[in-house]
Amino acid sequence: MLSLVQAVVLGVLQGVTELFPISSLGHSVLLPHLFSWHIDQTNPQFLAFLVATHFGTALVLLMFFWQDWLKIISGIFRSLYQREVREDDTYAKIGWLLVTGTIPAGILGILLQTQLQALFGSALLVAAALAGNGVMLFVAERLRARTTQEASHDDAIAKLSYTQALGVGAAQAIALIPGFSRTGAAIAGGLLAGLSHENAARFGFLLATPIIFAAAVLNAPQLIYGGSDFIKTTLLGACCAAIAAYISVRFLTEYFKTKTLTPFAVYCFLAGVAACIALVR
């Protein structure tokens, strides 16, 4: 279904756009249409390929934040042993905030899996959603300018309420629609909850990891029935995605210390509108 060149291009594209707030699924759906690649994007194997590239990205996120995950997992088990989440236990609180934040996307992803997969065949809808992603990022920046108090450490994330974490998770769930960015929605939700750009991005990267892993496990059986050639092509795409994701996360963790979502908002809106025009011609 995919050539090696297409697998490399889509893998690199996914690794970059998954972490940049510009929608990996949106770009993965639109690029084949715009390049006239004859790919059945509703085919379960294509979806399995995309999930595998997401899995490569998730592994990179896990490795990049491995020290944080050790603290978070230890904090969760510590709170279970103590039967409470103490106010001074920063990483236990972050751990349960992450659990809370995964609930909306997890439930909706399972309940609406078939309906959401059907959206992959509608490039025009995805292009419109990409433009909508730009609007979402722009609005979050404008609202954030009036409400956010800056902070730059994990204690600031731990001060979020569980309701706020659920809100960030609900915002992230919109990325189940191809064209909306998981990272962008999570950062936007974090900004509206009062986090700085740096901490909103950090919380978003941590929140994305278990969701991507869960999606990979759910769709793993599709890889088994794809045949050896399909598995080799998929592994190549996943490796390319992992390399691109590592470069991206290193860049973005520095970028959001001083920069905003505005450039990504402008890009998504213009790219989405341009794609809509190209597709209707």
State pTM to two decimals: 0.87
**Token pair recorded at residue 56:** 């490569």
Q: Which range marks the domain in which residue 160 is found?
A: 4-280
Q: For residues 235-248, give the mean pLDDT.
A: 94
Q: For residues 10-31, give the mean pLDDT.
A: 89
Ranked by mean pLDDT, which of 2-6, 101-105, 235-239 comes out on top?
Answer: 235-239
- Is the pLDDT assigned to residue 14 strictly greater than 80? yes
Q: Could you read off the pLDDT of 57-69 as tens digits, one per residue?
A: 889 999 999 999 9
Q: Could you read off the pLDDT of 176-234 as tens digits, one per residue?
A: 888 899 899 999 999 999 899 999 999 999 998 888 777 777 766 666 666 677 788 88
Q: What is the pLDDT of residue 36?
A: 83
List the alpha helices (DSSP H) in the chain.
Answer: 4-19, 24-34, 44-64, 66-82, 90-111, 113-118, 123-147, 154-158, 162-173, 182-192, 197-219, 221-224, 228-255, 262-280
Q: For residues 114-119, give the mean pLDDT.
A: 62
Q: Considering its fold, how many domains does the chain have in total?
A: 1
What backbone torsions phi and psi does residue 152 show, to the nearest 5 degrees? -140, 45
Under the banding of pLDDT at 50, 70 and 90, the label for residue 51 is confident
